[in-house]
Amino acid sequence: MLGKLLKYEIKATGRIFLPIYLALLALTIITKVLLMIAMPDVFLDSTSGTSFDIPLGISVTLYFIIIVALSVMTLIVIVQRFYKNLLTDEGYLMFTIPVETWKLIMSKLIVGLMWTFVCVFTVALSILILALGNFSIMEMNQGISMLYAEFQNQFGMSPNILIAEFIILMIVETVASVLMIYVSIAIGQLFSQHRIMAAFGAYIVISIVLQIVMTLLIALIPAFGLEYLMNSQINQMKAVEVFINGITVFNIISAVAFYFITNYILKNRLNLE
Amino acid sequence: MEILRAKGLTKKFGNLTALSNLDLEIPRGRIIGLLGPNGSGKSTFIKLATGLLVPTSGEITIAGATPGIETKAMVSYLPERTYLNDWMRAEDMIAFFGDFYEDFNRLKADNMLRDLNINPGDRLKTMSKGTKEKVQLILVMSRDAELYLLDEPIAGVDPAARDYILNTIITNYKENASVIISTHLIADIEQVLDDIIFISQGEIKLLSTVDDIREKHNKSVDGLFREVFKC
């Protein structure tokens, strides 16, 4: 059943994203073409002042607007699919199909994360396409290997582990942020009035609680504080690693808590209008 | 075994008691009218049976099981709200029901849509409120369920469609299935009911077969309702 839920979730969200991604693709191509005409070779100083400057300016502006719009839409869709599909009138259908509540939450989460990664990946790819030809790949490779060598030299370790750990932190943090939105909406629907306001309130309260817990943890267990780690005897990069992994673990714990609270509320305290 | 059983069923919302200590057994093969004034606990009772709400105390079982995915698969529920996604077409909803309910009968749905002149390719957004309600009822009645819970099924549709819908309800359920219809439009549905439950302020006031009412009270259900709930 999770597969079927995912299918409908992708269908419902895809129709919103498809036009935006098509617009992004079109603008990337147009901007790229205009860039190639207006600045055929950046290495040989640009031929600025050509008649292509204005269309290029417009195209670049639109390009940035569409990227911002895409990011904002991704967030809006994550919030709206959870709220509208589960907790307004549509919830009467979703909670009476023979599917476990956790699968409903999971289907929203998985598809929400999928669009987040598609968004990040597409924007990165698009920027790369625009930049292509404006720099030499060989030079970039050389630059990167130099950085690697220097890092290895200074800290006695490859930055790969650190980068991997950082990427894991980013992923875990994205999951936790989405679940934090879900749990806030779930708490908001417990109220009979002003549910959206209550959801915002819940979000703020949870943020504050997390801040307090974080501060307490650092105060109680000095090993969590970056400052302590930096001043301690261990290698500085090891300290950064401990810090990154500490936040990762903290995020995993909060994400699990958010998930179970959301599931409990939707299962036992559902309060559809 | 009875299709639905409630024992000491109680639901409170804060200080408000919506249902209090309800004991009830609903046998198979009956059409039951759940009748009561607004706010009497009709919808709360139905929502408890669907699993949308969890009882404060007491229990409710469908074919012996507490509400969960097992009972959701055999209960066909028509809420008082329209839950259709605006951006979908009627045929998308049919596909959705076919995907999630094993007992969904596509042929029935197609026939009913044709009878009511609804084009399956039409977007729900372009349909009137009454048409949407018809689509929703068609979806719900196209399932070969064990128990149908219909919350105000005819409130929003015109009298002509009402007859068709009532006819659909009585002809579309299996012999061993039961139908619970909650409404305050009693006169319109009286002729299809086998039993009635009068409910008020979260308590059962009267539970009887329609025949008994006619014999004992020498009144129509509608007449008796007006008498019992006289303001």
Is the CB of B120 inside 8 Å of chain A's CB atoms? no
Is A148 within the bounds of a domain? no
Do A189 and A65 sit in the same domain of this protein? Answer: no
Contact residues, chain A, for B96 at CB < 8 Å: 8
What total number of domains does chain A contain?
2
Residue A95 C-alpha, separation from nearest chain B C-alpha, in angstroms: 7
Q: What pLDDT does residue A96 have?
A: 96
pLDDT-derived band at A205 (thresholds 50, 70, 90) equals very high
- Please identify among residues 2-41 of chain B the ones whose CB lies closer than 8 Å to any CB of chain A: 13
Do A192 and A111 sit in the same domain of this protein? Answer: no
Do A37 and A76 sit in the same domain of this protein? Answer: yes
Helices (H), A132-268: 137-155, 159-188, 195-220, 226-231, 236-268
Contact residues, chain A, for B51 at CB < 8 Å: 95-96
Respond yes or no on whether ipTM tops 0.90. Answer: yes
Mean pLDDT of A145-159: 84
Contact residues, chain A, for B87 at CB < 8 Å: 12, 15
Q: What pLDDT does residue A54 have?
A: 83
Do A15 and A126 sit in the same domain of this protein? Answer: yes
Q: Is A271 helix (H, G, I), strand (E, B) or coil?
A: coil
Asked whether residue A227 carries a pLDDT value surpassing 80, the answer given is no
Final residue in a domain of this structure, among A101, A134, A167: A134
Is A142 within the bounds of a domain? no
Is the CB of A80 inside 8 Å of chain B's CB atoms? no
Cβ pair B99:A12 closer than 8 A? no
Is the CB of B181 inside 8 Å of chain A's CB atoms? no
Give whole-number Cα distances, B106 to A5, A115, A150, B135, in Å.
20, 33, 68, 13
Mean pLDDT of A162-191: 96
Tokens of A219: 């105060």
Do A232 and A111 sit in the same domain of this protein? Answer: no
Do A125 and A5 sit in the same domain of this protein? Answer: yes
Residue A185 C-alpha, separation from nearest chain B C-alpha, in angstroms: 17
State the DSSP H helix or E strand holding residue A38, giving kind and residue range, or none if neither.
helix A2-38
The residue that leads in pLDDT, A50 or B103, is B103
Is A267 within the bounds of a domain? yes
Is A82 within the bounds of a domain? yes
Report the alpha-carbon distance of residue A256 to residue A250 in Å, rounded: 10
Phi, psi of A45 (to 5 degrees): 55, 140
Final residue in a domain of this structure, among A70, A101, A134: A134
Mutate one of B54, B69, B83, B91 to test the A interface: name it (highest A CB count within 10 A).
Answer: B83
Is A145 within the bounds of a domain? no
**A119: which residues sit within 8 A by CB, 6+ positions away?**
A70, A71, A74
Do A114 and A5 sit in the same domain of this protein? Answer: yes
A178 and A156 Cβ atoms separated by less than 8 Å = no
* Residue of A8, A15, A99 lying closest to B69 (CB–CB): A99
Report the alpha-carbon distance of residue A134 to residue A45 in Å, rounded: 11
Q: What pLDDT does residue A223 have?
A: 65
* Residue of B54, B72, B85 lying closest to A97 (CB–CB): B72
**What residue of B is the nearest CA neighbor of A94?**
B83
Do A106 and A44 sit in the same domain of this protein? Answer: yes
Helices (H), chain B: 42-50, 69-72, 90-100, 106-115, 129-141, 159-172, 186-189, 210-212, 221-228
Is the CB of A49 inside 8 Å of chain B's CB atoms? no
Mutate one of A96, A189, A270 to test the B interface: name it (highest B CB count within 10 A).
Answer: A96
Do A182 and A68 sit in the same domain of this protein? Answer: no
Is A146 within the bounds of a domain? no
Of A9-23, A98-112, B25-39, B153-167, minimum mean pLDDT range: B153-167
Mean pLDDT of A235-251: 85
- Residue B63 φ/ψ region, left for φ over 0, alpha for ψ in the -120 to 50 degree band, beta for the rest: left
Q: What pLDDT does residue A229 have?
A: 64
Q: What pLDDT does residue B144 have?
A: 93
Q: What pLDDT does residue B139 have?
A: 94
The residue that leads in pLDDT, A143 or A135, is A143
Closest CA to A96 of B68, B4, B212: B68
Report the alpha-carbon distance of residue A196 to residue A189 in Å, rounded: 8
Contact residues, chain B, for A17 at CB < 8 Å: none
Residue B50 C-alpha, separation from nearest chain A C-alpha, in angstroms: 7
pTM of the predicted model, to two decimals?
Answer: 0.91
Cβ pair B85:A269 closer than 8 A? no
Task: List chain B residues with pLDDT less than 70.
Answer: none
Is A139 within the bounds of a domain? no
Do A161 and A116 sit in the same domain of this protein? Answer: no
Asked whether residue A209 carries a pLDDT value surpassing 90, the answer given is yes
Give the model confidence (pLDDT) of B21-54 as tens digits.
Answer: 999 999 999 999 999 888 899 999 999 999 999 9
* DSSP string computed for A98-158: S--HHHHHHHHHHHHHHHHHHHHHHHHHHHHHHHTTSS-HHHHHHHHHHHHHHHHHHHSS-
Give whole-number Cα distances, A113 to A120, A176, A187, B196, in Å.
11, 11, 21, 50
Mean pLDDT of chain A: 89
Q: What pLDDT does residue B106 have?
A: 95
Do A109 and A200 sit in the same domain of this protein? Answer: no
A188 and A195 Cβ atoms separated by less than 8 Å = yes
Is A113 within the bounds of a domain? yes
Do A113 and A211 sit in the same domain of this protein? Answer: no
How many cross-chain Cβ pairs, A to B, lie less than 8 Å apart?
Answer: 54
Cβ pair B81:A12 closer than 8 A? no
Host domain of residue A50: 1-134
pLDDT-derived band at A66 (thresholds 50, 70, 90) equals very high
Mean pLDDT of A53-82: 93
Q: What pLDDT does residue A35 have?
A: 84
Closest CA to B203 of B67, B15, B44: B44
Is the CB of B72 inside 8 Å of chain A's CB atoms? yes
Cβ pair A12:B85 closer than 8 A? yes
* Residue of B13, B52, B82 lying closest to A96 (CB–CB): B52
Contact residues, chain B, for A272 at CB < 8 Å: 52
Contact residues, chain B, for A192 at CB < 8 Å: 13
Mean pLDDT of A63-83: 96
